[in-house]
Structure 1
């Protein structure tokens, strides 16, 4: 199927051709006609499957075809990074010669500049829920003219605790509107809330397994906790890894890994939420521009980072959930390039690994050939020792 068959404006098709986007992805084929038809839609589709374009193309199409352009679009994003990158991707899709203004409303940036942008009445506002609701409370923004609401990465919105704020925002939007919800996963709690957010939605689901298993080679590496930094360096040298995204749980962990890499001659920088937005933006842009090789991050980077030519992800620790694992490894294997995801597992992660693979409904292949292998026997023995220490410690407390 081609974009021409989806009844998209010729100007948009010409723009897509310029961007070398020739054919719609599966999710775009399924969702674009429904959006153009005015339906409420719930779309569950893997990271990297083209969800942003699946809603951006039809909303741009509707704005171009509208004579008065009185309607408006609100796009809610869970993180600042995702909001900023959505802004950039939509701008690229707007045909040359057409002026569709966008305003991005996020925390960590000037209120004054954002209020000035709002006063221009842009047809598209991309926002994080907290800052958007803040400006509504200050009576700086009236949502009555916005007849389309897009909730992007809804599962992350739920996980970050934005559900209450989302419902508050809904109260300021027109009741007669088109609502589109996009998510990489569909937890039961989110499923329960959909009927309160959308009206008779059509649900589209693109299978996760076929996507991330097909494009990303996944490996599980058993390793002692004390050998993890050495194992990172081994993988870099053994497989000639020029660039990688390395995930760890804590800010302290980010700083330690960055220090170890730089001390051993590898260029690296860290990314986490405590850094200012301008610094975070600069780090991401420098990474995209190949100004350093390794980006070490907390899970702030598992959503919203569109790194189209990234091949490698390293999970220094197991993620907290299967959904988080999917989002982490979804940073690679995009744009039809082959991706590799290496996940480290130490003795203390034994039960977490079992839960992860049960929830993934798959077994991650084990990489047995590396210099720091922690065998199953050693792993179980170390795990028993850890449990004994915990039991002993608990007895002492009593």
Structure 2
């Protein structure tokens, strides 16, 4: 058994664990980031979802921790490496990867997320932890309860830092940074580099090495993108038609709101399709169960909001549908990045009504390209996209419950999406 990961300097137990899962050739972000992390310097990494960025930091961190385990501090509740992520689903994905690559090592990992009881977590924290994966809100709960010791953290990772800032976690992050030791290695991963991310990086990183494997806000070449014009009140009918007519068996559908996700999943289920919704109001148990059944093929359609879908990692997911275009164009990139992962082909289909002209235009401006609006026979919209944009008297009224809602998005330091 051999692996190109060995040439990057990773220890045999780590690359062997990867090889057993069929991972033998590093992705571009892994080729660039792994040697940097192993060298001990700070890292600023730009990588889109689906590029293998989790392994890019998990594998070298495990290598470093295993090499120094005998001399490291192992006091009660102490943590050696801390990975901060924006959502529970992403936390589960990252911790799963840590367990995968570290299965041949004597290292202990733990996940701290909201939505579950805190006391069992406190029990597990009585022992030392090598790699702790946490969402900011729940980690702060443990800091306040003094059930976790972060004074010996050797490595800090901020994963999907752009999303954490979007969700209003900047104050939480600063509070966590305040209790960490000054001397540590810092790794920041982000899909985009906004001025806010640059400011955060400048205050966090010490002479970092910068690596970037994709242009800002780029979409993967392995994802085909289609935009289907349809009246708002016929979207559910068209979605059902597409799934049935084209025999899609695993479809991730995005809606803007939690209520919209619930309504759509109920409609699909009543039509005979196995469908479940996943969003922030669902219990953690329900979210985990829905995702597991979707991965196993027991659920045909998973309807998700943007927040809940972060961390859904299915290498061979064939179809993503934008039931509604997002208000923030960068979210379009994140959404369709759920398919076409790890070199596999995927298809992203967006159902676009005439009142979503602005959202479509914003996506086109972001990606610096224009998209052809297709129509499906029998579902032609009553109003053309080429007609005047301000013609409300010709617009077909939206169906009950399908009206446009204001974006539920926090851009400041609030905690609207705080993941406790």
Q: Which moved more, 1:8-17 or 1:218-227?
A: 8-17
Q: CA RMSD in A?
A: 2.2
Aligned to 2:71: 68
The alignment partner of 1:61 has SS state of helix
Q: Determine if contact 2:217/2:333 at 8 Å carries over to the other structure.
A: no
Query: Aligned to 2:87, which of 79, 87, 93?
Result: 79
Deviation sequence 1:301-348 (CA, Å, 0-9, x none)? 331111222100110111122221111101111132210001111111
Task: Tell me the TM-score normalised to structure 2 length.
Answer: 0.88
Q: Determine if contact 1:212/1:333 at 8 Å carries over to the other structure.
A: no
Query: Aligned to 2:342, which of 316, 335, 350?
Result: 335
Query: Aligned to 2:197, which of 180, 183, 190?
Result: 190
Q: Displacement, 1:17? A: 1.5
Aligned to 2:7: 5
The whole-number CA distance in structure 2 between the counterparts of 1:231 and 1:89 is 37
Evaluate the alpha carbon distance shift between residue 275 and residue 388 of structure 1 in structure 2; reply closer, same or farther with a 3 A threshold: closer
Deviation sequence 1:281-305 (CA, Å, 0-9, x none)? 1111111111120011111233111
Q: Which moved more, 1:366-375 or 1:23-32?
A: 366-375
Q: Displacement, 1:249? A: 0.9
Aligned to 2:44: 42
The whole-number CA distance in structure 2 between the counterparts of 1:171 and 1:235 is 51
Higher helix share: 1
The alignment partner of 2:206 has SS state of coil
The alignment partner of 2:56 has SS state of helix
Q: Displacement, 1:388? A: 9.7
Aligned to 1:276: 283
The whole-number CA distance in structure 2 between the counterparts of 1:388 and 1:52 is 45
The alignment partner of 2:51 has SS state of coil
The whole-number CA distance in structure 2 between the counterparts of 1:268 and 1:208 is 35
Deviation sequence 1:95-128 (CA, Å, 0-9, x none)? 43x2211111111222211112221011111111
The alignment partner of 1:123 has SS state of strand
After TM superposition, the structure 1 = structure 2 runs for residues 1-398 of structure 1, keeping only pairs within 5 Å, are 2-66=4-68, 67-70=70-73, 72-96=80-104, 98-208=105-215, 212-374=219-381, 377=384, 380-381=387-388, 383-385=390-392
Evaluate the alpha carbon distance shift between residue 364 and residue 23 of structure 1 in structure 2; reply closer, same or farther with a 3 A threshold: same
Q: Determine if contact 1:103/1:122 at 8 Å carries over to the other structure.
A: yes
Aligned to 1:393: none
The alignment partner of 2:380 has SS state of coil
Evaluate the alpha carbon distance shift between residue 272 and residue 28 of structure 1 in structure 2; reply closer, same or farther with a 3 A threshold: same
The alignment partner of 1:74 has SS state of strand
Q: Displacement, 1:210? A: 10
The whole-number CA distance in structure 2 between the counterparts of 1:204 and 1:168 is 27
Deviation sequence 1:353-384 (CA, Å, 0-9, x none)? 11221122222343344431337736635751
Task: Tell me the TM-score normalised to structure 1 length.
Answer: 0.92
Q: Displacement, 1:266? A: 1.1
Please, which runs of 5 or more residues in structure 1 have no aligned partner?
391-398
The whole-number CA distance in structure 1 between the counterparts of 2:95 and 2:232 is 40
The alignment partner of 1:144 has SS state of coil
The whole-number CA distance in structure 2 between the counterparts of 1:295 and 1:204 is 34
Evaluate the alpha carbon distance shift between residue 92 and residue 378 of structure 1 in structure 2; reply closer, same or farther with a 3 A threshold: closer
The whole-number CA distance in structure 1 between the counterparts of 2:333 and 2:360 is 14
User: How many residues align structurally?
Assistant: 389
The alignment partner of 1:313 has SS state of strand
The whole-number CA distance in structure 2 between the counterparts of 1:293 and 1:11 is 37
The alignment partner of 2:358 has SS state of helix
Please, which runs of 5 or more residues in structure 2 have no aligned partner?
74-78, 398-420
The whole-number CA distance in structure 2 between the counterparts of 1:2 and 1:136 is 40
